[in-house]
């Protein structure tokens, strides 16, 4: 049975650009570390096997260069990141202390390449939004909001969000940044603390909790006064309370600030059951924030962020990718290379627990009234003196990256990058992969054995399994690696790392086997290295944007 995608009625269709680099899953922070880049590939596997590739364009962004990173970060810091490796790290002891690289932010193989992939997707997503090549851009490898100008922090080394916002500021007078991660978006707030061209709005746990910033009274300084909004929350906030906080504040922000573009950091450590989080928000409650921000029709850059229970991270981001593309994903998770991670129910849902909500109604209303007062003092959108958009070598080619396509002979096979960048037209019925969708039946000749139908192979671009057997092989992956208005903080929020991310049980194997066919042979030792790098539309190297004089990123402390 084909995975279910239900179109959202009454919603205007959006052009969606989705960025993914298959190399991102090959990086590992080290044993015992809660940040696992594999979660991005898990999300991508769900996205592909649900069939969302038909609803959007998929790109592999060009990794950001050192020069592009220095639009925000200091030259010395970027140079340090590009040179340090696990082999030579003992030669950089002094620099590691200076740049806060060590415990939370370890040195691992491919560190700079990992940062380049994250920053490259956010910057190109912003560039495509600015040039009206899409309405929504998604980069789940981004959202690393703790990184400072010259300092790593909170598992973040390069602040791709700031780099993406700087690109948006070349074309848009005002940019709104919204952060729904459980941690305060301190790196982004610090970068734009003195300007009115960027409003930062963060909903986070505050108290004795990392990073310890984001107090209600932190509102910006100078020209940026009242353009930094912080909504400190207590443990266990529910879907209802989160919605009662988020929607009124964001609606007033849109009315008061009128941004030209929005950047939404979708950190999933605010979900119930996260290893490092302390909220009680369900997947639907988290996704409601995405749906509400999307409803304003502004150019939207959706980024990843925190999230340390991998199966829940991938569930939420896949579901929110569907919302961006205008569909709701069905409850049953399709067969994919990480299928066993989603047991025992194999449902696309993250439910709330019975955790007590410490956010009383009086507390919520008190904080909300103070935040609204800060917005009232703005008085309306700030005016910005505009100049010609700075030009760079990227701009000319971004105008028409496929200008040479018409020169390709119709008798020549089209490059795979062109085929992967196409989205399926609504109502198209010609794909053989789609047999069974829309109440259509599979048809097979009785004269020839239909092996694929008989053994029930997984649908979608990413085919999982080996080619040495008759039946499909389900890939079983290896685990990679207090408040100004009277709130009280909790001191017992310890980092807790559960290494048992994906137990490989016989029960799950049996279920996966049953989901395909009674005759299918499930090879428990097979793993898939499906290379999605073929879905690569590599745009030309981008030149660093000239930022407005009003934007003055501050130095790290």
Concerning whether 184 is annotated as a catalytic residue, the answer is: no
Which residue of the set 44, 145, 146, 183 is catalytic? 146
Residue 7 three-state SS: strand
Pick from 266, 265, 300, 295: nearest CA to 283: 266
Distance between CA atoms of residues 40 and 536, nearest Å = 17
Other Cβ atoms closer than 10 A to 123: 30
DSSP letter (8 states) at residue 347: B
Other Cβ atoms closer than 10 A to 368: 16
**Cβ atoms of residues 192 and 200 within 8 Å:** yes
Distance between CA atoms of residues 547 and 166, nearest Å = 6
- Helix %, strand %, coil % of the chain (to 5): 35, 10, 55
Query: Token pair of 388, please?
Result: 């010609």
| Sign of the C-alpha dihedral computed for residues 186, 190, 192 and 193 taken in this order | positive
Query: Token pair of 491, please?
Result: 């001191």
Tokens 């080290």 identify what position? 30
Return the HEC string of 159-220: CHHHHHHHHHCCCCCCEEEEECCCCCCHHHHHHCCCCCCEEEEEEEECCCCCCCCCCCCCCC
Write the burial class of residue 110 (CB in 10 Å: 0-12 exposed, 13-18 middle, 19+ buried): middle
Half-sphere exposure of 467 (CA within 13 A, CB side): 3
Question: Rounded to whole angstroms, what are the CA distances from 112 to 90, 128, 196?
Answer: 17, 24, 32
Distance between CA atoms of residues 123 and 139, nearest Å = 10
User: What's the N-to-C CA distance of the chain in angstroms?
Assistant: 55
Angle, CA 319 vertex, CA 58 and CA 325 arms, to 5°: 45
Residues catalogued as catalytic = 146
């Amino acid at each position: 049975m084909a995975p279910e995608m239900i179109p959202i009625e009454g919603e205007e269709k959006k052009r969606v650009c989705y960025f993914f680099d298959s190399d991102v899953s090959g990086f590992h922070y080290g044993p015992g570390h809660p940040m696992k880049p594999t979660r991005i590939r898990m999300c991508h596997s769900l996205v592909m096997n649900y069939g969302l590739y038909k609803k959007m364009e998929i790109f592999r962004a060009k990794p950001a260069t050192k020069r592009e990173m220095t639009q925000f970060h200091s030259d010395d810091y970027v140079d340090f990141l590009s040179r340090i490796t696990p082999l030579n790290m003992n030669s950089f002891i002094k620099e590691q202390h200076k740049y806060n690289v060590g415990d939370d932010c370890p040195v691992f193989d491919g560190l700079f390449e990992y940062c380049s992939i994250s920053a490259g997707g956010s910057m190109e997503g912003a560039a495509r939004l600015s040039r009206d090549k899409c309405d929504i851009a998604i980069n789940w490898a981004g959202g690393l909001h703790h990184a400072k100008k010259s300092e790593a922090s909170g598992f973040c080394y390069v602040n791709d969000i700031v780099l993406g916002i700087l690109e948006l500021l070349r074309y848009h007078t005002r940019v709104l940044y919204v952060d729904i991660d459980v941690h305060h978006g301190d790196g982004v707030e610090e970068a734009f603390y003195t300007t009115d061209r960027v409003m930062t709005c963060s909903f986070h746990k505050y108290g004795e909790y990392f990073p310890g910033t984001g107090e209600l009274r932190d509102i910006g300084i100078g020209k940026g006064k009242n353009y930094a909004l912080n909504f400190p929350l207590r443990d266990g906030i529910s879907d209802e309370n989160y919605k009662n906080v988020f929607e009124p504040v964001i609606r007033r922000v849109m009315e008061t600030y009128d941004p030209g573009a929005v950047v939404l950091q979708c950190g999933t450590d605010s979900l119930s059951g996260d290893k490092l989080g302390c909220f009680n928000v369900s997947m639907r409650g988290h996704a409601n924030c995405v749906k509400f921000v999307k409803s304003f029709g502004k150019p939207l850059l959706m980024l990843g962020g925190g999230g340390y229970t991998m199966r829940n991270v991938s569930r939420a981001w896949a579901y929110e990718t569907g919302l961006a593309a205008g569909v709701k994903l069905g409850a049953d998770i399709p067969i994919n290379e990480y299928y066993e991670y989603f047991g025992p129910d194999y449902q696309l849902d993250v439910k709330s627990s019975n955790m007590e909500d410490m956010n009383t109604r009086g507390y919520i209303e008190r904080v909300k009234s103070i935040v609204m007062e800060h917005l009232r003092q703005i008085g309306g959108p700030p005016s910005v003196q505009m100049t010609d958009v700075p030009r760079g070598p990227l701009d000319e080619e971004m105008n028409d990256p496929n200008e040479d396509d018409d020169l390709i002979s119709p008798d020549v096979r089209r490059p795979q990058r062109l085929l992967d960048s196409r989205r399926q037209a609504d109502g198209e019925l010609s794909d053989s992969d789609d047999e069974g969708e829309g109440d259509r039946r599979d048809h097979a000749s009785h004269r020839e054995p239909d092996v694929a139908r008989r053994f029930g192979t997984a649908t979608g671009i990413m085919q999982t399994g080996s080619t040495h057997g008759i039946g499909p092989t389900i890939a079983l992956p290896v685990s990679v690696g207090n408040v100004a208005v009277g709130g009280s903080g909790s001191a017992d929020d310890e980092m807790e790392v559960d290494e048992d991310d994906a137990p490989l049980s016989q029960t799950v194997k049996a279920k996966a086997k049953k989901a395909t066919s009674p005759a299918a042979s499930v090879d428990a030792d097979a793993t898939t290295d499906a290379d999605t790098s073929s879905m690569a539309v590599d745009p030309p190297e981008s030149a660093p944007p000239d930022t407005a004089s009003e934007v003055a990123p501050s130095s790290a402390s």
